[in-house]
Amino acid sequence: MMTNSLNRMDMKNKFIFLFSALLIFGTIGCVREEFEDLPLARYSRTADIFTDNFVGLGTDFYFPYQGAKPDVFSVDENERFKGTSSIRIDVPDADDPGGNFAGAIFRIDGAGRDLQDYNALTFYARSSQAATISEIGFGQNFEGDTYRAFRTNVKFTTNWQKFIIPIPDPSKLLEERGVFQFAAGGIGPEGEEVGFSFWIDELRFENLPTLAQPLPRILNGENQSVNSFNGVTIPVTGTSVVMNADGTDISVVAAPSYFNFRSSNPAVASVNEFGEVSVLATGTSTITASLGGTSSSINATGALTVISEGPFIGAPTPPARNSGNVVSIFSDAYTNVQVDNYNGFFQFATTQGGLTSIAGENILSYTNLNFVSVNMFNSPDVDASAMTHIHLDINVRENVDPGDFIRLQIINNNGPGETSGAVNLGNYKPLISEEWVSYDIPLRDFTGLGTPNDVDLIFFVSDGTISDIFVDNIYFYR
């Protein structure tokens, strides 16, 4: 009898345990489903950047541009639009030894901000004299600048005014660290470069109900066509958005990542979220874009038609020369000198690109060219004083029209004692569309250069007459 009672008790306990386990697992399953339905945690949604002081930026947030005067920024307690203080920027004179322009970013020292709830960066500003600010905006963080947006040539007066920088697509800004950027050089009423000061106050993100009617553009709103090769990467440039605020159109230069890109033939040319077009096979594909989500998507004006000609044809192979008779800047045929970079990204330069590799061949690829430099500031002296010529190969990646030109400039001993000389390549051989042209130019033709015993810069200048070029085999020789 005792054994039967124990068995019944054991069976009862097992049933209770099984029922409890099912109840627990069922509850856990419901909780898991509930958690899966919860929205993801968001980063700080703080709107203010500067009121009477900086808000939530941390201690290490100010980063000047390369070449800019570093000590132009302060908090001014004697000038403000509202409250007790403002941001003051002192733009230097052109001949200031510390730097001839003011430019910097404000980057959050830590996690970024979630800006989905806002549609604009706003601030009040005035200057000590009527002045034009070259660039002012947000999204530049020196870590990719994925969602940069800025206005150009913004006019400040001596009176406080409110300014608006529209956000092209707020839904993209989930963790933005670059909350402000500016660049300015002093320009006087007669065009002379002079210093001045300007002040920024009440700097914050806002949701403005009057900001509407976005008009997105790629390639500056134009339909463009480019011949290319398998293995080439082509950036989509000229991306911008125009929005209307209280009847006034405001245009912002917008990073390509704000846009949603499409390819009509991905097997020929695919495009990623950064607007980088990868040419894959012979054929034709058209790249278009839109702005916004699926339910609110707006097609951008402008399109890029890519025509791939097939495998890449490289520049002519340089002749074999004794190493003592060559000072090579960029060539796979010789040992090159130390080069800092192949695109200095100087202020007012629009040029994109630099060193790239196509089908295993290293070349320089420049797009949106107005001027660009190969920089050797940190290299031991690039001494070409014993050389007699400079060689380079150029391939113009577009039609060559009357009046188009490329000017080659060499700067020696950059600084107060520098010398320089320039030549127009067309005076030696005509530029030809889609073909490599080799130039061998006597150094004596670079009037004003003198003895090239410390070459620091080599510039290619087109003033926008020619936008896209390949360059290879840059070297001095005798």
Query: How many of the other CB atoms lie within 10 Å of CB of 423?
Result: 21
Q: What is the dihedral of CA 273, 276, 278, 282, to 10 degrees?
A: 110
Any residues with CB less than 8 A from the CB of 324 and at least 6 apart, and which? none
Give 257's pLDDT tier (boundaries 50, 70, 90).
Answer: very high
Nearest Cα residue to 350 out of 253, 453, 474: 253
Give 347's pLDDT tier (boundaries 50, 70, 90).
Answer: confident
Cβ(118)–Cβ(211) below 8 Å: no
Tokens 């020619």 appear where? 466
Write down the mean pLDDT value for the chain. Answer: 90
Q: How many Å apart are CA 81 and CA 115, to the nearest integer?
A: 25
Q: How many Å apart are CA 85 and CA 369, to the nearest integer?
A: 42
Q: How many Å apart are CA 183 and CA 134, to the nearest integer?
A: 6
* pLDDT at residue 253 tops 70: yes
Give 335's pLDDT tier (boundaries 50, 70, 90).
Answer: very high
- The residue with greater pLDDT, 14 or 244, is 244
| pLDDT tens string 22-42 | 444 454 454 445 545 556 678
Q: How many Å apart are CA 187 and CA 220, to the nearest integer?
A: 27
Any residues with CB less than 8 A from the CB of 3 and at least 6 apart, and which? none
| pLDDT for the residue 2 | 41
Share of residues in the chain with pLDDT > 90 (%): 78
Tokens 């006019």 appear where? 155
